[in-house]
A and B are shown apart, each in its own frame.
Chain A
Amino acid sequence: MHQRLNSSDRLGNFPEQSRVVRKLESIAELSEKEKQALLDLPVSVRNVAADQDIVCDKDRPSHSCLVLDGFVCRYKLLDGGMRQIMSFQTPGDMPDLQSLFLRVMDHSIGTLTPSKLAFVPHDAVRDLLRRYPNLVEAFWRDTLIDAAIFREWMVGLGRREAYGRVAHLMCELLMRLRAVGLANGYSYELPLTQAELADALGLSTVHVNRVLKELRLDGLVVFKGRHLVIQDWEGLKEAGEFDPTYLHVEPQVAA
């Protein structure tokens, strides 16, 4: 992903733009002008295969990327070859917004599934934020929610049993995907492998496999192909001690 990017398109030309707008609208109130300014952002859109790096640890990116489609993750590789996935980014998310202000990447970002990504030049994002202070608040809120998600993951990695970790992640993804219109009732596409879940949850693939079976036997979830169907939402929330407050997914009235 180190090819020259030519940002000759605009975000609004792609049908998935609605996910980006919905994502921000799920956490902040946007005016029509602000939405239009977002859609007018110059972008270079790329279809990227699964398991490709978008930006690497120590890179100095000149663009931020928007996830239009697919699953992307932030990760770090350890010396022994082990990988820790630190977050999943789903459609509508901007995983490397930080590179706008923190010049050097302190982790890598890569695709987990085939993904459609929009690259926005940093200068264009800066210009947008100068013109629309309310968008500064929206992006700031997004960054704070990002941090809240990290805190929840930290609690899970440090203190939750494997069963609760998996349940919590399933609950979180439902809420996040629902916010951008990618959940159908209590079902959503979960195209991740057990190894990828293991890398995110600090478990072995074997443990993830066992927990998925237990969750199914307990009647909480079932897989239909690549779709996860939550059969007992209350039970799953209880298993993961899931309290959605940290996601702040409701329209906020600017103070």
Chain B
Amino acid sequence: MTLQPVRVATGGEGEEGRLVFAGEKLVALLVKLSHQQEELAGRWFFEAGFGRLDGPLHPTFENLADAEAWILQRLAATGEA
């Protein structure tokens, strides 16, 4: 899995984000929550998932490693990885 930095048009001025690739395929977009998100500020938000990761689940994570682990686990559970 590779992560590519990106700016995302959420939260006004644009938040720091990561495009998450599994091989060459884009599978998710993570956004680092700004101070505007109060108690969630600084956490990584699962903004969008694609393919098997598309759905109503939008957790937040303490750090990118936790986010990656969750994404890998979800991909494995759905037979994509």
> How many angstroms from the CA of A246 to the CA of B42 in the assembled complex?
42
Residue from A80, A202, A205, A206 whose CB has the most chain B CB atoms within 10 Å: A206
Cβ-defined contact, A206 with B33, below 8 A: yes
Chain A contact residues: helix, strand, loop or mixed: helix
Indicate which residue in B11, B36, B40, B56 contacts A205 across the interface (CB closer than 8 Å). Answer: B40
Cβ–Cβ < 8 Å partners of B38 in chain A? 209
B57 touches A210 (CB 8 A): no
A204 interfacial by beta-carbon distance below 8 Å: yes
- What is the size, in residues, of chain B's interface with A at 8 Å between Cβ atoms? 12
Which parts of B1-49 form the interface with A (CB within 8 Å)? 10-11, 33, 36-38, 40, 45
Are B10 and A210 interface neighbours, CB within 8 A?
A: yes
Q: Judge if B52 is at the interface, Cβ distance under 8 Å.
A: no
- A206 close to B36 (CB less than 8 A): no
Instruction: List residues of B (26-81) whose CB comes within 8 Å of A's CBs.
Output: 33, 36-38, 40, 45, 56-58, 60
Find residues 191-213 in chain A having any chain B CB closer than 8 Å to their own CB.
202, 204-207, 209-210, 213
Give me 7 other A-B pairs in contact (C-beta within 8 A), A209-B37, A210-B10 excluded. A82-B56, A205-B40, A206-B33, A206-B37, A206-B60, A209-B36, A213-B36
Interface residues of chain A, those whose CB is within 8 Å of chain B, are 80, 82, 202, 204-207, 209-210, 213
